[in-house]
Structure 1
Amino acid sequence: MNRRMMLASAALLLAPLAAQAQTRDVSVTIYNSNLALVEDARPLDLKAGRQKLEFKDVSAAIRPETVSLSAPGVTILEQNFDYDLLTPDKLMEKAVGQKVKIVRTNPGDGKETTEVATVLAANQGVVLKIGDRIEVLRDDGVPTRVIFDKVPETLRARPTLSVSVEAAGAGTRQAKLSYLTSGLSWKADYVALFDEAKSTMDLQGWITLSNNSGTPFENARTQLVAGDVNQLNDGGYRSSRSPGMISAGTESGVGERVADYYVYPLPERTTIASNQNKQVGFLSAQGVTAKKVYEVREGWFTSQAEPTKAVVAIQFSNARLAGLGAQLPMGTMRVYMRDAAGDPKFVGENAIGHTPAGSELSIKTGEAFDVSGQATLVAESRVSKRLTRYEMKYLLRNAKDQPVTVELRQGGLGRDSTVKAESLKGRRIDAGTLGWSVPVPANGETVLTFTVETGW
Structure 2
Amino acid sequence: MHSMTLKPLLTLSLLALPASHLGAELVQGEPAAPRQPVLDSQELGDDAAVRTRADDATALTLTLYQGGVAQVGERREFGMQRGRAVIDWHDVPAAMQPQTLQVTGEGDVDVHEVRLRDRVLSRDALLDASVGEEVRLVHRDGESQRGRLLAVSGGTPVVELDDGIELLDQGNPWRIAPDALPEGLADAPVLQLDLSSDMPGRQWLDLGYLVDGLAWRLDYVMTIAPEADTMALHAWATLRNDTDVDFRDADVHLVAGASDAQRPRLETLATRTAGDAIGDASEAVADQQRFRLEGPITLEAGDRRQLRFLQVDSVPVEREYRVRSHVPLGSQGRAQRRPVAIHMAFENREPELGRPLPAGSVRVYQRDDTGSAVYAGDETLDPTPVGEQVELRPGTAFDLTAERRQTDYRRLDERTEEQAWRITLRNAGESERRIVVEETLPGEWTMLEESAEHRRPDAGQARWEVDVPAEDKVELEYRVEIRR
CA distance in 2, matches of 1:419, 1:68: 65
Residues 335, 114 of structure 1: alpha-carbon distance in 2 compared, 3 angstrom cutoff: same
SS at match of 2:317: strand
1:42-441 correspondence to structure 2 within 5 Å = 42-71=76-105, 72-106=107-141, 112-124=142-154, 125-140=156-171, 142=173, 144-197=174-227, 199-230=229-260, 255-301=282-328, 305-313=335-343, 315-320=344-349, 323-378=352-407, 391-411=420-440, 413=442, 423-428=451-456, 433-441=461-469
Q: How many residues align?
A: 420
- Matched residue of 1:154: which SS? coil
Partners of 1:69 and 1:76 within 8 A in 2: yes
How far, CA to CA, are the matches of 1:379 and 1:327 in structure 2?
Answer: 50
State the alpha-carbon separation in 1 of the partners of residues 112 and 455 from structure 2.
Answer: 65
Q: Which position in structure 1 is the counterpart of 2:14? A: none
> Residue 398 of structure 2 aligns to a residue in which SS?
strand
> What are the residue-to-residue correspondences of 1:9-28 with 2, within 5 Å?
16-18=50-52, 21-28=55-62
Q: Secondary structure at the match of 1:91?
A: helix
Using a 3 Å threshold, how does the CA distance of structure 1 residues 189 and 434 change in structure 2: closer, same or farther? Answer: farther
Question: How many Å separate the matches in 1 of 2:87 and 2:448?
Answer: 76
Alignment deviations for residues 37-73 of structure 1 (CA, whole Å, 9 cap, x no partner): 1111223321122221122222222122111222232
- Give 1:345 shift: 2.2
1:455, 1:214 → 2: CA distance? 64
Specify whether residues 153 and 263 from structure 1 end up closer, same or farther in structure 2 by C-alpha distance, changes over 3 A only: same
User: Match of 2:207, as an amino acid?
Assistant: L
Deviation, 1:296, is 1.1
One-letter identity of the residue aligned with 2:72: V
| Compared CA separation, residues 420 and 267, structure 1 to 2 (3 A) | farther
Name the CA shift for 1:275/1:303 in 2 (closer, same or farther; >3 Å): farther
**Larger mean Cα displacement after TM superposition, 427-436 or 394-403:** 427-436
* The 10-residue stretch of structure 1 (22-31 or 361-370) with the greater mean CA deviation from structure 2: 361-370
- 2:297 and 2:483 mapped to 1: Cα distance? 57
1:37 maps to which of 71, 91, 100: 71
- Map Cα deviations across residues 130-184 of structure 1 (whole Å, 9 max, x no partner): 3343322233363x44332322232221122111112234223332111111111
Give the 3-state SS of the residue equivalent to 2:143 in structure 1: strand
2:470 corresponds to which letter in structure 1? A
CA deviations on 1:70-92 (whole Å, 9 max, x unpaired) are 22322111111122221112111
Q: CA deviation at 1:433?
A: 4.4
Structure-2 separation of matches of 1:120 and 1:73: 50
Partner SS for 2:290? strand
AA matched with 2:114: Q
Residue pair 2:336, 2:405 contacting (<8 A) in 1 also: no
Q: Partners in 2 of 1:200 and 1:160 — Cα distance? A: 55
The alignment partner of 2:128 has SS state of: helix
- TM-score calculated relative to the size of structure 1: 0.82
In structure 2, relative to structure 1, the CA distance for the partners of 1:19 and 1:341 (3 Å cut) is closer
| Local SS of the residue matching 1:63 | strand
- 8 Å CA contact 2:65–2:261 kept in 1: the answer is no
Residues 1:442 and 2:474 aligned together: no
CA distance in 2, matches of 1:177, 1:306: 62
Letter in 1 for 2:103: L
Identity %: 28
SS at match of 2:114: strand
Q: Contact 1:303–1:375 at 8 Å: present in 2 too?
A: no
| Cα separation, 1, equivalents of 2:404 and 2:198 | 79
Contact 1:289 1:322 in 2 (8 A): no
SS at match of 2:476: strand
Higher relative contact order by CA 8 Å / sep ≥ 6: 1 or 2? 1
Stretch of structure 1 that moved more, 157-166 or 370-379:
370-379
Q: Secondary structure at the match of 1:64?
A: strand
The amino acid across from 2:469 in the alignment is P
Distance, in Å, in 2 between the alignment partners of 1:387 and 1:258 is 53
- How far apart, in 2, do the equivalents of 1:428 and 1:217 lie? 56
Gap regions ≥5 residues in structure 2: 1-20, 27-48, 264-279
Does the 8 Å CA contact 2:52/2:89 hold for their aligned counterparts? no
Distance apart, 1:288 and its partner CA: 0.9
Give the SS at the match of 2:158: strand
Q: Do the aligned partners of residues 181 and 454 (structure 1) sit closer, same or farther apart at CA in structure 2, a change above 3 Å counting?
A: farther
Task: Please name the residue that 1:247 is paired with.
Answer: none
The worse-fitting range, judged by mean Cα deviation, of 11-20 and 72-81 is 11-20
Tell me the distance in 2 between the aligned counterparts of 1:211 and 1:286.
31
Q: Residues of 1 paired with 2:83 and 2:151: CA distance?
A: 42
Most deviating of 224-233 and 119-128:
224-233
Counterpart-to-counterpart distance in 1, 2:153 and 2:144? 24
Counterpart CA distance in 1 for 2:215 and 2:53 is: 32
RMSD: 3.2
How far 1:340 moved relative to its partner?
Answer: 4.6
Letter in 2 for 1:102: L
Instruction: Select between 348-357 and 131-140 the one with higher mean Cα deviation.
Output: 131-140
Q: Is the 8 A contact 1:316 1:362 kept in 2?
A: yes
Structure 1 stretches of 5 or more lacking a match? 1-9, 107-111, 234-252
Change (3 A) 1:20 1:206: closer
CA gap 1:95/1:321 in 2 versus in 1, 3 angstroms: closer
